[in-house]
C-alpha cells in the first residue's frame, strides 16, 4: 500500500497512512498557530483511539502550520476556568490521553518544526521519540510559569524523568526556550535535522533508529538523581527555591509550587505523580496571580495587534542612521543590526564612537557566548554597523534615530544637519526622554516626517518602545517608525505628544514622591526595600542612581517648566548634583559603589551615609505602607491627567507601558488593574488624605474624582 488518506482535512488536522506509518498532521484551520484548544484536543483524542484500534507500524505527529508545532494551551480557555473541580476533570482527561499516547505499542515520533511550547511540548514528551528542525523558529520550552501556572499535561513529571531534575527545573522555573541543538544536548530531543529533511528523519526514527534506544521508564539522568537522594534532593531543590525567592521575592507562587511538584512527583509512580501535578495546577489556574498574568498576556497581544495594523502603511526602510553612539545610540544600533538592518552610526567624536562600537561588539560577543547566535551570525551582524563621524553615508538612509545629548539646541542642530545630508523623504525619530516632539520638529523642513521613538535602557533587554506622534506627524511616518520598532522585536505603545509623553511623565512624580519622603525622614533603604517588597524590580533611589541624576535633572526641568509646581523637583536632587553625585556612572550616588574590578561586598548595596549629612537628614515617621501608596498613587494621578489630555487613552496601553517600560509588578496586572482592585473611591480618598498632609501636588486628578463619583472602573471586565 502506498498512500491512503484516512481522514481528509478535518476541523483540526489530517491523517494519512503511508507504508505502515500513520502521519498525523495537527492543523487547526481557525487559528494561525496550533494551540491545544478543546477542539484540537478532541480531534487528537479520536486519532489516538483510531491508532489504538488500527495499530500501524508507527505514528508520526507533525504540524500543518508553516512555522509552529503546537504553541501551548489555549489561554482564553484557561482564563475562563473558574472551578477547581472543573479544572481537575479537564486535566485528568488530558493525562489519560497523554498516557494512552505514551502506551501505544509501536514507535511514536513527534516531528517538531517551529514553536513547541507548553502543552505542545508535553504532547511531544508523551511520544517515544522527538526530532526537531535546526531552524531559528524551532523553540522548545515550558513557559507556564510566566502565566502564573505550572505545566499541566505531565510536563513536571515526564521532563525530569527524561532529562534529569536539575535541567528540567531550569526549564520549568525560567520558562526558557531552547533551540533544537540545545534540546538535543539536554536529551530533550533525540535528533535534529534540516527542515527539508523532517519527514525523512521522522520515518527513520519510526522504523529503524528506534531500536538503538532504550525505551520507556526513567532515563539514566533521572535514576542517578534519585540514587543520590536525599542529599542531592536537598541541595538541588533548596538551591532552586532560594533562587526563585531571590528573583521573585515570593510574589509568584507558581515556580515554588513547581519545585514541590517535581520534588514530590519524582519519587512516585508516574500515575500518582500526575495527580500531584493536576492538584497543584488546578489551584494555580484560578489564583489572582495567574489571572493577572494571563490578562497581561492578552493585553500585550492586543497592543501588538494594534501596532501591526498601524504599521501597514509603513514605507520600506533599507538603511537606518543612528545619531549618537552613547549608551542609547549604541544600544539601538546593536539591536537594529542583530535583526538584520544595515546601520550607519554617527557620533561627533571618534573616542565616543570607539566606545559605542566596543559596546556593540561586546553585546554580540555575549550573544555568541550565550548561544543566542552563532559566531558567524554575530560577526555578520557586527559587520552591519558602520561607524562614522561624518554625514556622508547619510545620503542613503531612509530613517534616522537620534540619541544625542538631551538638549534642544543640540537636537535642533542635528536635525538640520541630517536633513541637509539625507534624501528628501527621510523620516526622523528622536529618542528624547522628555522634550516634546513638536518642539524638536520646529527645526525640521518636513515636520510631518518627525516622530518620537523612546527606547528604554538597556535597549537589548527592555521590551517596550514608546512611539510618539506630534500633531503634525504623518500616517506614513508613524507607520514607518512603528514598523521599524516591530522589526526590532519591541512591544509598542503609540502615545500623544507632550513633555515626558506618557512613561517619563508618570515616572517623574513617582520619583519625586520618593524624594519628598526622604526629606520627611524616610531612610533611603527603607523606601527602596518597601518598594521591592511590594514587587518593584528596584526601588526609586536605586533607579535614580542607575538612570543618572543629571539625566533626571534635565527631565525634571522640562516637566516642571511645562506642567508647573505639581512637578517641582524636591531640593534633594539639586543638592546631590551639587555634590557631584550623578549616580552609578560617577560612582557616587545614594548608594556606595566599589571601584571597578574590586570584589562586591556581601549583603547587597549599602546606602552612602554621607548623603544623609549632605541633606541634613533627620529620621522621621513614614510607614512602609505610606511609601508604597504615595508612589503608585502619584503615578496613577499623573496617568489620569495624561488620559484627560489624550496623551494616552487605552487602559491596555497604560498597563503594558508601566509593566514593560519600568517593571510595575506584573502579578498586580498593571497600574490601572491595581486601581480597579482598590476601587476609585478608595484611591480618591487616599489621595485627598495625603494632599491635606503633604500638599496640593497629591490632589486627585479630575478624571479620578469623576470616575469615583460615577462608580466607574478602568476595565469593564
Minimum CB distance to ligand NAI smaller for 352 or for 523: 352
- To the nearest whole angstrom, how small is the minimum distance from the Cβ of residue 223 to ligand NAI? 50
Can you tell me which of 58, 111, 198, 328 binds ligand NAI, judged by CB under 6 A?
328
348 in contact with ligand NAI (CB under 6 A): yes
According to the 3-state scheme, what is the secondary structure of 519-530? Answer: HCCCCHHHHHHH
**Options 179-187, 347-355, 659-667, 707-715: segment touching ligand NAI (CB under 6 A):** 347-355
334 in contact with ligand NAI (CB under 6 A): no
Nine cell digits for residue 322: 543612528
- To the nearest whole angstrom, how small is the minimum distance from the Cβ of residue 541 to ligand NAI? 16
Minimum CB distance to ligand NAI smaller for 63 or for 512: 512
Nine cell digits for residue 94: 488530558
Contact 554, 507 (CB under 8 A): no
Can you tell me which of 431, 480, 503, 673 binds ligand NAI, judged by CB under 6 A?
431
410 in contact with ligand NAI (CB under 6 A): yes
Size of the site for ligand NAI (CB under 6 A): 26
Distance between CA atoms of residues 632 and 669, nearest Å: 14
Contact 646, 501 (CB under 8 A): no
According to DSSP, residue 583 is labeled: B
Distance between CA atoms of residues 694 and 425, nearest Å: 51
**Options 114-122, 308-316, 426-434, 529-537: segment touching ligand NAI (CB under 6 A):** 426-434
CA dist list (Å): 658 to 632, 670, 672, 674: 11, 7, 10, 12
Distance between CA atoms of residues 461 and 596, nearest Å: 23
- Sign for the CA dihedral angle at 372, 374, 380, 385 comes to positive
- To the nearest whole angstrom, how small is the minimum distance from the Cβ of residue 347 to ligand NAI? 4
Write down the residue that cell numbers 498586580 correspond to.
668
Can you tell me which of 254, 322, 327, 607 binds ligand NAI, judged by CB under 6 A?
327
Looking at 338, 406, 466, 626, which residue is catalytic? 466
Minimum CB distance to ligand NAI smaller for 129 or for 455: 455
**Options 75-83, 144-152, 194-202, 406-414: segment touching ligand NAI (CB under 6 A):** 406-414
Burial class (CB in 10 A: 0-12, 13-18, 19+), 577: middle
**Options 162-170, 405-413, 563-571, 648-656: segment touching ligand NAI (CB under 6 A):** 405-413
478 in contact with ligand NAI (CB under 6 A): no
Q: Which of 169, 274, 184 is nearest to 225 (CA)?
A: 169
Helices 165-174 + 220-228 axis angle, to 10: 100
Minimum CB distance to ligand NAI smaller for 296 or for 414: 414
Concatenate the DSSP letters of all residues of 600-641 into one string: PPTTS--B-HHHHHHTT-------HHHHHHHHHHHHHHHHHH
**Options 72-80, 269-277, 398-406, 468-476: segment touching ligand NAI (CB under 6 A):** 398-406
325 in contact with ligand NAI (CB under 6 A): yes
455 in contact with ligand NAI (CB under 6 A): yes
551: three-class secondary structure by DSSP = helix
418 in contact with ligand NAI (CB under 6 A): no
**Options 102-110, 310-318, 403-411, 471-479: segment touching ligand NAI (CB under 6 A):** 403-411
- To the nearest whole angstrom, how small is the minimum distance from the Cβ of residue 459 to ligand NAI? 9
388 in contact with ligand NAI (CB under 6 A): no
**Options 319-327, 565-573, 639-647, 671-679: segment touching ligand NAI (CB under 6 A):** 319-327
- To the nearest whole angstrom, how small is the minimum distance from the Cβ of residue 517 to ligand NAI? 24
Can you tell me which of 12, 37, 157, 433 binds ligand NAI, judged by CB under 6 A?
433
Distance between CA atoms of residues 157 and 258, nearest Å: 10
Can you tell me which of 352, 538, 592, 708 binds ligand NAI, judged by CB under 6 A?
352
Distance between CA atoms of residues 656 and 658, nearest Å: 6
323 in contact with ligand NAI (CB under 6 A): yes
405 in contact with ligand NAI (CB under 6 A): yes
Binding mask 545-564 for ligand NAI (x = CB under 6 A): --x---x-------------
Q: Which of 174, 176, 172 is nearest to 154 (CA)?
A: 172
According to DSSP, residue 424 is labeled: T
Interactions with ligand NAI, residue window 229-268 (CB under 6 A)? none
503 in contact with ligand NAI (CB under 6 A): no
Q: Which residues contact 104 (CB under 8 A, 6 or more apart)?
A: 48, 51, 52, 59
Please confirm, yes or no, whether 466 is among the known catalytic residues: yes
- To the nearest whole angstrom, how small is the minimum distance from the Cβ of residue 531 to ligand NAI? 19
110 in contact with ligand NAI (CB under 6 A): no
347 in contact with ligand NAI (CB under 6 A): yes
177: three-class secondary structure by DSSP = strand
Distance between CA atoms of residues 355 and 364, nearest Å: 14
For 29, other C-beta atoms within 10 Å of its C-beta total: 10
Distance between CA atoms of residues 377 and 364, nearest Å: 9
Residues near ligand NAI (CB under 6 A) are 323-329, 346-349, 352, 403-406, 410, 414, 431-433, 455-457, 547, 551
Active centre residues (catalytic): 466
Amino acid at each position: 500500500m502506498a498512500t491512503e488518506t484516512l481522514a481528509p482535512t478535518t476541523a483540526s488536522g489530517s491523517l494519512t497512512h503511508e507504508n505502515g506509518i500513520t502521519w498525523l498532521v495537527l492543523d487547526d484551520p481557525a487559528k494561525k498557530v496550533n494551540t491545544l484548544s478543546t477542539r484540537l484536543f478532541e480531534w487528537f483524542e479520536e486519532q489516538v483511539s483510531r491508532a489504538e484500534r488500527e495499530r500501524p507500524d508507527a505514528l508520526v505527529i507533525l504540524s500543518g502550520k508553516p512555522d509552529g508545532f503546537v504553541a501551548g494551551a489555549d489561554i482564553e480557555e484557561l482564563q475562563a476556568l473558574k472551578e477547581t473541580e472543573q479544572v481537575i476533570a479537564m486535566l485528568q482527561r488530558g493525562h489519560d490521553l497523554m498516557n494512552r499516547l505514551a502506551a501505544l505499542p509501536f514507535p511514536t515520533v513527534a516531528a517538531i518544526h517551529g514553536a513547541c511550547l507548553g502543552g505542545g511540548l508535553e504532547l511531544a514528551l508523551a511520544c517515544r521519540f522527538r526530532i526537531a528542525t535546526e531552524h531559528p523558529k524551532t523553540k522548545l520550552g515550558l513557559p507556564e510559569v510566566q502565566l502564573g501556572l505550572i505545566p499541566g499535561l505531565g510536563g513536571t513529571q515526564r521532563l525530569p524523568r527524561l532529562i534529569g531534575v536539575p535541567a528540567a527545573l531550569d526549564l520549568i522555573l525560567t520558562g526558557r526556550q531552547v533551540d533544537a541543538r540545545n534540546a538535543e544536548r539536554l536529551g530533550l530531543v533525540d535528533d535534529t535535522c534540516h527542515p527539508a529533511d523532517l519527514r525523512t528523519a521522522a520515518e527513520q526514527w519510526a522504523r529503524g533508529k528506534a531500536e538503538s534506544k532504550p525505551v520507556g521508564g526513567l532515563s539514566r539522568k533521572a535514576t542517578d538523581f534519585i540514587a543520590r537522594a536525599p542529599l542531592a534532593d536537598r541541595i538541588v531543590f533548596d538551591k532552586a527555591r532560594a533562587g526563585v525567592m531571590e528573583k521573585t521575592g515570593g510574589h509568584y507562587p507558581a515556580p515554588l509550587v513547581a519545585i514541590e511538584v517535581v520534588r514530590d512527583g519524582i519519587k512516585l509512580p508516574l500515575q500518582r505523580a500526575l495527580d500531584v501535578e493536576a492538584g497543584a495546577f488546578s489551584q494555580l489556574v484560578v489564583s489572582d496571580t495567574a489571572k493577572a498574568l494571563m490578562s497581561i498576556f492578552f493585553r500585550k497581544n492586543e497592543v501588538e495587534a494594534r501596532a501591526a495594523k498601524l504599521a501597514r502603511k509603513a514605507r520600506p526602510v533599507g538603511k537606518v542612521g543612528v545619531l549618537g553612539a552613547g549608551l542609547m545610540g549604541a544600544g539601538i544600533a546593536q539591536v537594529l543590526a542583530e535583526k538584520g538592518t544595515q546601520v550607519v552610526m554617527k557620533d561627533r567624536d571618534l573616542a565616543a564612537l570607539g566606545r559605542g562600537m566596543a559596546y556593540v561588539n561586546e553585546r554580540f560577543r555575549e550573544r555568541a557566548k550565550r548561544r543566542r547566535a552563532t559566531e558567524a551570525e554575530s560577526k555578520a551582524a557586527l559587520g552591519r554597523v558602520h561607524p562614522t563621524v561624518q554625514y556622508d553615508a547619510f545620503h542613503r538612509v531612509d530613517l534616522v534615530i537620534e540619541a544625542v545629548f538631551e538638549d534642544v539646541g543640540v537636537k535642533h542642530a542635528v536635525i538640520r544637519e541630517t536633513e541637509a545630508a539625507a534624501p528628501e523623504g527621510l523620516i526622523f525619530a528622536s529618542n528624547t526622554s522628555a522634550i516634546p516632539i513638536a518642539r524638536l520638529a520646529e527645526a525640521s523642513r518636513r515636520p510631518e516626517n518627525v516622530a518620537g521613538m523612546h527606547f528604554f535602557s538597556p535597549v537589548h533587554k527592555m521590551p517596550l518602545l514608546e512611539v510618539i506622534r506630534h500633531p503634525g506627524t504623518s500616517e506614513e511616518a508613524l507607520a514607518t517608525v512603528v514598523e521599524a520598532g516591530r522589526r526590532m522585536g519591541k512591544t509598542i505603545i503609540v502615545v500623544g505628544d507632550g513633555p515626558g509623553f506618557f512613561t517619563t511623565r508618570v515616572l517623574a512624580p513617582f520619583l519625586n514622591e520618593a524624594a519628598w519622603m526622604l526629606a520627611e525622614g524616610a531612610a533611603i533603604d527603607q523606601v527602596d526595600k518597601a518598594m521591592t517588597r511590594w514587587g518593584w524590580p528596584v526601588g526609586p533611589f536605586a533607579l535614580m542612581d542607575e538612570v543618572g541624576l543629571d539625566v533626571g535633572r534635565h527631565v525634571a526641568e522640562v516637566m516642571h517648566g511645562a506642567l508647573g509646581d505639581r512637578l517641582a523637583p524636591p531640593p534633594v536632587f539639586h543638592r546631590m548634583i551639587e555634590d557631584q553625585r550623578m549616580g552609578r556612572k560617577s560612582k557616587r550616588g545614594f548608594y556606595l559603589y566599589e571601584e571597578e574590578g574590586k570584589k562586591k561586598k556581601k549583603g547587597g548595596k549599602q546606602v552612602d551615609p554621607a548623603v544623609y549629612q549632605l541633606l541634613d537628614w533627620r529620621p522621621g515617621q513614614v510607614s512602609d505602607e505610606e511609601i508604597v501608596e504615595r508612589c503608585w498613587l502619584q503615578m496613577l494621578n499623573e496617568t489620569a491627567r495624561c488620559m484627560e489630555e489624550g496623551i494616552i487613552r487605552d487602559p491596555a496601553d497604560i498597563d503594558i507601558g508601566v509593566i514593560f517600560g519600568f517593571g510595575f509588578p506584573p502579578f498586580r496586572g498593571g497600574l490601572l488593574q491595581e486601581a480597579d482592585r482598590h476601587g476609585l473611591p478608595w484611591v480618591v480618598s487616599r489621595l485627598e488624605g495625603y494632599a491635606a498632609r503633604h500638599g496640593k501636588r497629591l490632589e486627585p486628578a479630575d478624571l479620578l474624582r469623576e470616575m469615583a463619583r460615577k462608580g466607574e472602573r478602568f476595565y469593564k471586565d
